[in-house]
Every structure is written in C-alpha cells, then in structure tokens.
Structure 1
Amino acid sequence: MFKPYEIGPYFDEMLDQNGNPKKHYQSFYDVLQDLSEEELKEKQETANLSFLRQGITFTVYGNDGGTERTMPFDFIPIIIPAEKWKEIEKGMIQRVKALNLFLDDIYHEQNILKDGIIPRDLVEQNPYFYYRQAGGLEIPLQNHIFLAGIDLIKDEHGVYRVLEDNLRNPSGMSYVYQNRYVMRQVCPEFFSEHSLNMLEQQMGHLHSALMAHLPKNASITSDPRAVLLTPGMYNSAYYDHVFLAQRMNISLVEGRDLLVKNNIVYMKTIRGLKRVDIIYRRIDDDFLDPKAFRKDSRLGVPGLVDAYRAGNVSIVNGIGNGVADDKAMYAYVPDMIKYYLNEEAIIPNVETFILRDPHQREWVLEHLDELVIKNVGASGGYDMLIGPHATDEELILFREKILENPNQYIAQPTIKLSRAPVYQNGHFYPCHVDLRVFVMKGENINIFPGGLSRVALKEGSLVVNSSQGGGAKDTWVLKEEMQHAEQGS
C-alpha cells in the first residue's frame, strides 16, 4: 500500500529510508496491512462524518465574512516513544519557566533589559507590551502563563525544534480530545496493540491549575468562581471555548454577562449577581476593557482592568503576555533560559534572522528566495513568504515590506519539516507535520500527553494551519512498559 510513497530527503515519522516501519510504529503498521482498500476508505469517510455530526468546526474569515468548516482529519496517528516524550516534557517545562520569569521581570524590575541581554526597545516598542495595565502587579503565584501552546517541528535529522510560542490564547485542545474520540470509534482495532498515555485526567489538571490563580482579595464567603470569557459564537475557536468550559464545569460567558461594581466583577444570573474570582479569557488584550484598551470594544467588560489591578479578580492568561510570544522575541528565548535558569535550551530554536539588524537584513534581502519570512505579529500562516515557492511578484512585494518596516518581520531558513503518511482520496502520500504541545501551569507544571498534531494535507504544502487547508492527526504517547515489551519480543 506504500509502494508509490516517496520518503525523499525528509525525516519520516513512520517509515525509515528503506520504506520499513520504525520500531514504535511496527504494531500499528501490521494492523494497517490487514485492512483492505475498501475498509481504509470507509474509515476515512466515517471519521469525517463523525466530525461533521458532532459539529466540530472552526471558522475561516474571508471577504464574505466567516465560513464554518469541519476540521480535516487523517486517521494515521503520530506515535511518540516514551523516552522521546520525556525529552519534550523537560524542554517544555524549562521553556515555560523561563518565559514566565521573563514576563514577571519586564513588568517589574526589568533586570534582563538593564543587563543588556535583550534590547530595551524590542520590549518597550512591542505593541503587546502593556506596562500601564499590567506593570508592577503582584499576581497569583507570580504566574503569567496558565496555558501555553508550544509548536514543535522536526528537522531533516529528526531533531525537535521549537517553531513558535503561543502564550496569549492558544487554541486546539478540544481537537486533541475529539481526534482521540473519533479514532476510538472508527479504528478500535488500532488500540488493542498499544498502551497509551490517557487524556482523561488532563481536564482535572487544567481545572486545578485554573483554580490555583485565586486573587489576593478573593471572596471568602462562598466557593471561588471561575468563568471562561469568550468573544462569542462567531470567533474561529468558539468550539474550543465551549468544550473547555463544559469539561472544566465553569460558566461560559460573554462580556455582556459580566459587570464591575466597586472594582469587583460579577456575573449576571437569574438569581442575581454572583461574584467572579478568576477569568480564563479567550479575548485579546485590546478588547478586554474599553476603559483600558480599545474604546470601541463591545466584547469586553468596562472596569475589568481596575478590578484586576485592585487584586479582586485574576485574569489568565495574563495581560501583556504577547510581548513574550512575539516572533522577534522568540529569537531571544534561549538567552532567557541561560539568563534566568543558567541552563542551555533542551529543545533548540529554529535559526532566526532579526531584520531590525542592518547586517542580517542585508543578507536576508540577498537570499529572499531561500528563506521563510514571517510577520512578527501575524498568526495562522498569514503575511508569510515561503521563498522557494514564491513568485517573482511575491518576492518583490516582501522586499518592499521589509525595507518599509524591518522591525515587523523575521526570517528563517526553509527547514525540511518532517513528514508522515496520510490517507486521503483513496491513497497514501507524505505530508509535513508539526506538534502543538499544551503546557498547564498552576502550583505545578503539567504537560498534556501528546498534544495536537497538525498536518499540511495539500501535497507539497508547508503550512499546517487549518485556516490554510491543514488538518489534524491523533497523537499517541506510548507508555514505557509497552515499549520494553515490544523491544523484548
């Protein structure tokens, strides 16, 4: 079934250079070989129908408003051996610790700026640096990062690298659960030969991490109350918001459901006003409070920032986190790890060129057709140039953009992203993949086992984002005892 499949110069997750399955994929490969072409097609069609029936969707914004789509899914999982996952966990804990220390530092003493490790203007001119709203605050646990989504890739040598840090409103956790649910419904025979780390306990960890962020002036007369603040049903990640609120058993609210009186936040209910202690917000900073940010925002809650600064409510993730997950700041994260933890980065970055530097900018402009150019403030694959695939017109356009506003862009080499088999339209072919790892931080740090594997389903595409035609796979982390059993057999 893999006869026309080409591995090429890429690292393949499932197959070695000779086309044979790797050890941790052998059991899965054996079950796959027993399926007929008709059974394979039926499984793929049933999986897609399952997503449709459950309303598992996201929204793509375009010229005609928003178009709701089901998440494209592929039933060939990404399988990660236990020892490799341990390395990922250590790297994620290290990285999130350093990023949190950086956020706490720049909103207080700013030692990393005074010591010249990071250019001061890179922080102070960052559009996501909200010192007036978040500076000088003593927040619960001194923790700015309740939930992080760290995107990892593998290069052509199979080495994990961090592609991006998402510290504001990382989405996609609901799809991890639904991917597993659909896989168990459609492909139960795949699970009988594997012992996997389970997902069931993770919502308990997420809820515990959330409730650990009680503000210093929390209500003492009743049980603390947390809510998830959503922009509403037209947001692209609304399914994610609904899922998480339901699973954590907290209220899903919009800005109009909350009000602030005497610097205390209340939720409107049919039984009157109920005090709110913790807000897990899925609204960007700019729209949180029309008194503190954009005056035209109808999504937020007037007076919310005053209540936050008074210590009467916690807001997670923290206000102003965007300064740390900016794509230009990304290049300095290994320096943060060295500065705050006195350690080398366990999982390295992708090499990054800072275009505000004249020498780096000059070199990049001479090699545009070999590089990937990214807007430091954009996400979802927008305002990005993939040099080797670009037209002459696109190269000219990005040259002009960089010269006009060099601080707005970074450049990276075109990495040969690892690939994995997908089964779509009746045949197997290789597609590029990445992995979003979710890190939950409360009293302790917990790493969600597996995370969201995203796949560039268009043949030859490097863009995994669902808004750009990407899809998802289930992610399996093998238990250690199962691997030992397989190696001994």
Structure 2
Amino acid sequence: MLNNNGDPKPHYEQFYNILQEFTPQELHEKSETAQLNFLRQGITFTVYSGNSGTERTMPFDFLPVIITSDQWDHIKQGMTQRVQALNLFLEDIYTEQKILADEIIPRELIENNPYYYKAQASDLDIPNKNHIFLAGIDLIKDENGEYRVLEDNLRNPSGMSYVYQNRFVMRRVFPEFFNHHKITTLEHQMSLMHESLKSHSPENCSDPKQSIAVLLTPGQYNSAYYDHVFLAQQMGIELVEGRDLLVKDDIVYMKTIHGLQRVDIIYRRIDDDYLDPDAFKPDSMLGVPGLMEAYRKKNVAILNGIGNGVADDKATYAYVPDIIRYYLKEEPILKNVDTYLLSNPESKEYVLDHIEELVVKNVGASGGYDMLIGPHASAEEIELFRKKIIEEPHQYIAQPTIQLSRMPAFQNNRFYPCHIDLRVFVMGGKEINVLPGGLSRVALKEGSLVVNSSQGGGGKDTWVLRNQ
C-alpha cells in the first residue's frame, strides 16, 4: 500500500484518504461487524488437530489488496499460459509421454510419484482433452515487486466462496470505499464457471445442452464443505454425496424422489483415492463403485481430472518453466520461486548446510503442514527436518526465505504489517477464464510467513481496478 517514504502508492491514494476519515472506534466497530457477518452466514472451515475438528470462521481483514489493470493483465496472461502448459503436460504423461522420452523431466520423478495414477488414468479420452476444470494458483510478490508463482493447486483447490463473501461483506460494511473506486465486478463469473462445467459433456451424453451436472462432496465434516455448498448453489447444480449416486450398466445415476436420474458430469471434491472403491481404495465409503468404468466408457465426465496431483506436486513445480517452454515454445510470463530438489545430491548437501536460512516443504503436503521455515524454527525443529531430509530426500524441496510482500492489517484496534499471498482461480473448458482478483490470504500472526487458514491465516478482499 505504501512507498518506502510512507506515502500511499497512486492506486491506493483514494482508499488511504477515505480511511483517514474514520475514527479508531468506528474502524473497530466496522471490523467487528464484518466478522459477525461471516459468523451469521455460517461461513466456516474446519481445522483438524489430532482426532478432532474445530469449526472456525475465516478471520477477515477489511483493508483490500488493490491491483491495477496493467498488473492484472500481466497476471492473467501468466495464469492462462501456465494452465495451458500444465494441461498439455497431463494429457501427455497419461498418453504418449513425449516429455519423458525427450528427457525434459526425469522419468522416475513421474513414475514414482504417489499421485501418478497410470493404471486408472492412462489413455482416457476426456472431453476437450481438458484435465483442469478449476485451478488455484498461489502467487506472491517478492522484495523487487515481481509476481512469482508459489504453488499450483490442480486437484481440488478451495476458497472461491471466500472471494465472493469477502466482497459481499466489504460492500455491506464499507460502502464508502466502493463509491470512489471502479472495481472489476465478480458478477457473471459463476455463469462462466457453469458454462465451463457444461462444456465437459461426455461423448455418450444423449443431449449436451441438457446434460445434468452434480457436485460430489465428502459431506458436511469436510473442511471445505461451505465452499462445496456455495459453488453448487451458485452454479445451480445438485450437491450430492457418494451414497446419492449409483452406477448401473456403466451409467451413473442420481437417486431422487422421482426415481433414478442420469448424471453426465461430476465436479468432484473427493480425492482420487476415495472416488471409486473398485479402482482405488476398496474400503472407501465416500465414493461410487463402478464410477471409473463409466468414465472410461465416456458415459460420464469427472472434473478435475484423475491423477492431476502429479502436475501440482512440489517437485514437478520446479520443472514448470521447462514444461511451458516444451509445450508452448514460450518463455514463462510468471517466474517460479527458486527451488532446490533434494533428490539431487548437490542440492541436498547445500540445503543441509544452509537449512537455517531456507523454507523446507513436503512435496505432497498442503495447508502449511510438514513445513519448516528455517529462520523462525527452533533447534529441535531444524534437527527433526535434517533427519527427514536424510531419510527421504525425494520427499522434500527447499526454497529461499522470500521477503513476501506485506499489507497493513487492522486487528485488535491497531494497524500492523502482515505478509500476504494471492490465490488466483482459473477455470478451464473450451476456453480459459481467470476470475478477476482472487483470494488474498494474510498471515495475521505478527511476523508469520504462513497464510493458510488452517494455520491462523485470514482473508482480504481483492480489487482489480478497471481502466478509468
């Protein structure tokens, strides 16, 4: 928000000036009202600890992240390029495997990956050859003001509902801000998402214009259940659990009070392993027996694609710039954060010698779990991760501790700087569409670098300014 001299940057100036008109008491009351809005609407997520789960509201901070139209154009182009390349990569590794034959990526990195489902996902003829219906790409801004990709989420990215609720609460509690800014609207984006969904009608669908889509959820105890309910409602599709579906003669049906109704498209929010007990974990109570056979016979579409996890694995992440160059013959528009693959002996030795300065992540984990932030870690934590790296080097990557961009936050009656990142949502169908703005996540604990809601992070509204 501010230049080094403490003055607001040009695109924040109007907001900054309006902010000065409020008394500290008014800001406190508005902040409390905003938080109560989330509670009253039941906008929650679940944090799991041990064997129990605690339901919480997402902490909300009312100072928005503001992005200029030029900055957004750059982000949008980079997002489109990245998702196009990752989709081509997924199509390739489950069919011809040209990228492995040309030794752009080590074959063992793919074939030994726990999220590479060769038996289940190879040679599937999927609608539009599109594996990525919804991606959540996490961006940061480094100390030089350059946007960089921190992580790709191509399996079941959550958080889109919070983008809308953050905007709704901001408009309700702080209408003054919206009267003075031209902000790109979020309206019609759900219509575009519904169009993208329906564009995946399977080959054997009797009438693509009348295809029936459902959102498959693990149920109300899932941490992102509010997200599932919101998206199903906004797209006008049924929210179902595995027990609501059955497969008969390789066709998927939904049980209704009027009898069985054929289902053509399933937007699933269930991990691959639990999707079909006949093809994955036989003890899964969440999935639908026979679903994969119906999918293979082109009687149903499943979104996101099976086996997408091999493309958003943190080890694969290090090769995404090469993936873009290989498939698109272009230079990456958005750079990665520098990454050390610990399966490389030289990189491993360097990381073990400099572990106190680095961030170490488990390649398969998410949500801020199994991660070490060297400069903030205790001697015991560092020693624990040193042992993990020595025992399973292929399971970890390391990155420099980047000075993430910071934004002011207003919590406990005062302003203080907090680190932020931005999750951008990309919808794929016959065309790629990027949701304007996205979910700005903020590390509300002072000095923390971890923005995940499961680790105490919160959210901010994200404004993309329209050209005047």
Is residue 2:209 matched to residue 1:229? no
1:322 and 2:309 matched: yes
In structure 1, C-alpha distance between the alignment counterparts of 2:387 and 2:446, rounded to whole Å: 30
Q: What residue in structure 2 maps to residue 240 of structure 1?
A: 227
Deviation for aligned residue 1:219:
2.5
For the residues of structure 2 that align with 1:422 and 1:397, how far apart are their CA atoms? Answer: 33
Contact 2:274 2:280 in 1 (8 A): yes
In 2, the alpha carbon distance for the partners of 1:53 and 1:74 equals 17
What are the residue-to-residue correspondences of 1:286-435 with 2, within 5 Å?
286-435=273-422
Matches of 1:166 and 1:39 in 2, distance apart? 39
Q: Which residue of 2 aligns with 1:8?
A: none
Which residue pairs with 2:157 in the alignment?
170
Superposition TM-score, scaled by structure 2 size: 0.99
Q: Distance in 1 between matches of 2:391 and 2:206?
A: 51
Q: Deviations over 1:121-162 (max 9, x none)?
A: 100010000111110011100000000000000001110000
Counterpart code for 1:176: V
**Of residues 38, 41, 47 in structure 2, which corresponds to 1:51?**
38
| CA RMSD across the alignment | 0.8
Is 1:58–1:71's contact at 8 Å kept on the other side of the alignment?
yes
Gapped runs of 5+ residues in structure 2?
none
Separation in 2 of the partners of 1:296 and 1:83? 51
- Distance apart, 1:220 and its partner CA: 3.3
CA distance in 2, matches of 1:123, 1:63: 32
> Where does 1:11-26 land on structure 2 (aligned, <5 Å)?
14-26=1-13
Alpha-carbon distance in 1 for matches of 2:257, 2:8 = 59
What's the CA shift for 1:222?
Answer: 8.3
Q: CA offsets, 1:254-308, max 9 Å, x none? A: 0000000011000000000000000000000000000100011000000000000
Cα distance, 1:221 vs structure 2: 9.5
Query: Deviations along 1:54-75, whole A, 9 cap, x unmatched?
Result: 0000000012511000010000
Deviations 1:350-400 (A, max 9, x none): 000000000110111000000000000000000000000111111110010
Whether 1:142 and 2:126 are equivalent positions in the alignment is: no
Residues 70-89 of structure 1: pairs in structure 2 closer than 5 A? 70-89=57-76
How much does 1:347 deviate?
Answer: 0.5
1:438 aligned onto 2:425: yes
Residue 152, structure 1, aligned to residue 139, structure 2: yes
* Unpaired runs of at least 5, structure 1: 1-13, 482-489
Equivalent in the alignment of 1:204: 191
* SS in structure 1 at match of 2:4: coil
Paired residues in the alignment total 468
Q: CA deviation at 1:223?
A: 1.9
| Equivalent position amino acid for 1:364 in 2 | V
| Deviations, residues 293-345 of structure 1 (Å, cap 9, x unaligned) | 00110000000000000110000000000000000000000000000001111
Which amino acid letter does the alignment assign opposite residue 194 of structure 1? H
Aligned pairs for 1:238-277 (under 5 A) are: 238-277=225-264
Contact map agreement 1:219 1:275 (CA 8 A) in 2:
no
Question: What code does the residue aligned with 1:100 have?
Answer: N
Q: Distance in 2 between matches of 1:348 and 1:126?
A: 24
8 A Cα contact 1:219 1:277, kept in partner: no
SS in 1 for 2:79: helix
Distance 1:222 1:272 in 2: 22
Match of 2:79 in 1: 92
Q: Within 1, Cα distance between the matches of 2:50 and 2:329? A: 49
User: How far off its partner does 1:213 sit?
Assistant: 0.2
Query: What's the TM-score, normalizing by structure 1?
Result: 0.95
- Confirm whether residue 448 of structure 1 aligns to residue 435 of structure 2: yes
Counterpart amino acid of residue 38 in structure 1: Q
The equivalent of 1:285 in structure 2 is 272
Please name the residue that 2:461 is paired with: 474
Q: What is residue 25 of structure 2 aligned with on the other side?
A: 38
- Map of 2:166 onto structure 1: 179
| Distance in 2, Cα, partners of 1:395 & 1:246 | 45
Percent identical residues:
70
| Map of 1:133 onto structure 2 | 120
The CA distance in 2 between the partners of 1:56 and 1:107, in whole Å, is 38
